[in-house]
Amino acid sequence: MRFDKRTSRDAARPAFACGGSPNPTVSGYTRSMTSLSSTEAAAIERAGDAPMLAQVEAWAAVNSGTGNLAGLKTVAGLLADAYSALPGDLRLVAPDPVESVDAAGRVQTIERGAHLHLSVRPDAPVQLLLTGHMDTVFAADHPFQSLTWLEEGVLNGPGTADMKGGLAVILAALSALESSPLAPRIGYDVMINSDEETGSHASAGLIARLAKGKTAALTYEPALPDGTLAGARPGSGNYSVLVHGRSAHAGRNPEEGRNALVAAADLALRLAALKAPDLKVNPAKIDGGGPNNVVPDQAILRVNMRPATPEAATAAEAALNAAIAAIEREHGVHCHLHGGFNRPPKPLDAPATRLFELVRDCGTALGIDIAWKATGGVCDGNNIAACGVPVVDTMGPRGGAIHSPDEFLITGSLPERARLSTLTLLRLAERGTV
């Protein structure tokens, strides 16, 4: 990966937003130092001084698209080297098997990369889970491979915000925590998976095991450019519907055929009509068909459903099954459903709200305005919340245009968010609860 470093940058200097206006949180942090205890002040100073920008540059210089196993192995090694500075047990965890339906209707096993897991003080009175992902959406052959400075304090590059910046923040905050006398009160698991961008199918079991019994969780997806956090999230389900019809000659005896492509198209229209205020439905792709003179006997419909609540998810799955049954009946075809809701809805319940309020109060102590709002995206925070654990899942640095070649990281937010995480960890250690 190339790195076009047009000018040198200082990781700790005040960052500027893309519009060019100064970031107010740096001076606000200075003004708020008097509201911190000496223990807190020392720890957050250490967090802010960590070499996060250099780490992001090194980690983002290696392509780690979800399907690039060699790149993921390299990044996992770099992360293991960096995180080995923390105490505890560090290991690579083999991915769970993942199945997918290909364009020919065959169920195939997909290989994923290993996940990184660090366990520290599992017997401490307060137990936390911190998660991130090492994969990006950019494959090894994608044209977006280089790092470029867009303007003062704004770094463009694959995975800079989503989420190698977040991985640097986790390490900085935990290193600062370990320097504090409060460290013995808190234990934690860090999980960095290799397949978040494709739904965490190979790591969902690991996430569920590590979330069990935790006091709270923090996930390091990027905050919005203005610092706003993601609050409630919908769920997400990805389905493949295999439609099996009957082939026939398109001119001689088409009535004896059962057109799987037409049936799949009809199903797509029926599912699109299910959209409602609490449900988004996106029929995304139909595979199938063949020569113009043959009635197609197979088609595969791919569809994504995003329910806002658990009740909407249950209703959506029931409606999907009912629509499939109607298609089978009316078109004389047979359907096979593959997939499910891999990301449960994440409503903002009372424990999660209290955790957000704790993060907000820590932000106030640092001169950072913290707000949150509902979003349409999903992440591993959905899976953690489904285990009954309160989670804030946008604790990473500020950035934007993720999943596109315009992705950018506001580099001055690295120390800002490392301080925020450190103070949140310390106050969780003191309180023992959210």
251-291 tens-digit pLDDT: 999 999 999 999 999 999 999 999 999 999 999 999 999 99
Tell me which residue of 214, 231, 206, 186 sits closest to 389, measured CA to CA: 214
Angstrom distance (rounded) from CA 310 to CA 316: 10
Q: Is the pLDDT of residue 365 over 50?
A: yes
Q: Is the pLDDT of residue 18 over 80?
A: no
Q: What is the CATH number of the domain that holds 34?
A: 3.40.630.10
Angstrom distance (rounded) from CA 407 to CA 162: 8
Q: Is the pLDDT of residue 217 over 90?
A: yes
408 and 355, same structural domain? yes
395 and 336, same structural domain? no
Active site residue 256: no
End of a domain among 293, 319, 343?
343
Count of other CB atoms within 10 angstroms of residue 325? 11
C-alpha neighbours within 13 Å on the C-beta side of residue 218: 31
Contact in structure between 220 and 359 (CB atoms under 8 Å):
no
Q: For the chain, how many structural domains are there in total?
A: 2
Domain that holds residue 33: 3-232+346-431
Angstrom distance (rounded) from CA 9 to CA 272: 48
Contact in structure between 331 and 266 (CB atoms under 8 Å):
yes
Q: What is the CATH number of the domain that holds 306?
A: 3.30.70.360
17 and 79, same structural domain? yes
End of a domain among 321, 343, 365?
343
pLDDT at 35: 84
Catalytic residue among 57, 135, 197, 416: 135
DSSP, res 161: I
Angstrom distance (rounded) from CA 55 to CA 51: 6
Give the mean pLDDT of the chain. 93
Sequence-separated (6 or more) residues with CB below 8 Å from residue 415: 11, 12, 47, 48, 49, 50, 52, 172
Catalytic residue among 40, 57, 195, 196: 196
Active site residue 81: no
Structure tokens at 169: 């923040």
Task: Tell me the pTM.
Answer: 0.91
Contact in structure between 204 and 379 (CB atoms under 8 Å):
no
